[in-house]
Amino acid sequence: MRIVSELLIDSTVHQMRAGFLLVVSVVFMVLALPAAAQSEADDLSAGGFLVASRDLLDPNFHQTVVLLLDYSEEGALGVIINRPTQVELDQMMSDLESAWEGAGTVWVGGPVAHWQMVLLIRSTAALEGAERVFEDVHFTASRLVLEQMLQSETEFRTYAGYAGWGAGQLEGEIERGSWHVLPGDSDMVFDEAPLELWRELINRGEAQWASLR
């Protein structure tokens, strides 16, 4: 009986230890995730990339890469940079002069104000009527600047709509694991293979996320 009692006691102790270790492991994992997410949220700034996680199934943002145009405590503004359409700019803006036909593809910029045209312009010089985002990338919603771009050799892209977040909203989405935050790259903004961009960046983002755990 004594041996049986000792075995039962020893078994109970082992179960208690295993249970304790399991609880500790779970708590550590739960605490580690927000810490990693908080680290990513700390990297938010204009010119950064938001890369949709594999779990983000919202059709507005599924497998998207967003360039942040503006970020502050009041919220964030960005455009999706990897969703080209089959629509040409002159089809969207029928009042454009006929000389500007074939002015380029319109890109899906986001679910907000899809009737609003937003331009991303690549220029090493400052542009009147446009705001510098980072490096040589500028943005504007000015029709006048659009017309100037159409008459120049400057590289630009036109987006329909944009993405917007209120105060604390984007940080909450990052904490839930919806986005990875990566440094922006002007070459990638104007990448000639935009449909491959998300896959390239998600792999990089997941490696960064894992290193923060």
Average pLDDT over residues 47-53: 96
23 — pLDDT class (breaks 50, 70, 90): very low
In angstroms, rounded to a whole number, what is the distance separating the alpha carbons of residues 130 and 195? 27
Structure tokens at 84: 């080209």
Length of the chain: 213
Q: Which residues of 109-122 are buried (b: 16+ CB within 10 A; e: fewer)?
A: bbeeeeeebbbbbb
Structure tokens at 77: 């503004």
Where is average pLDDT lowest: 101-105, 114-118, 189-193? Answer: 101-105
Instruction: Reply yes or no on domain 43-212 having CATH 3.40.1740.10.
Output: yes
Residue 160 pLDDT more than 80? yes
Q: Report the relative pairing of strands 84-88 and 137-140 from DSSP bridges.
A: unpaired
Q: Where are the domains of the chain?
A: 43-212
37 — pLDDT class (breaks 50, 70, 90): low
104 — pLDDT class (breaks 50, 70, 90): confident
pLDDT for the residue numbered 38: 59
Average pLDDT along the chain: 81
Alpha-carbon separation of residue 213 from 29, 44, 119, 174, 198 (angstroms): 8, 19, 37, 15, 22
pLDDT for the residue numbered 213: 56
Structure tokens at 33: 């995730």
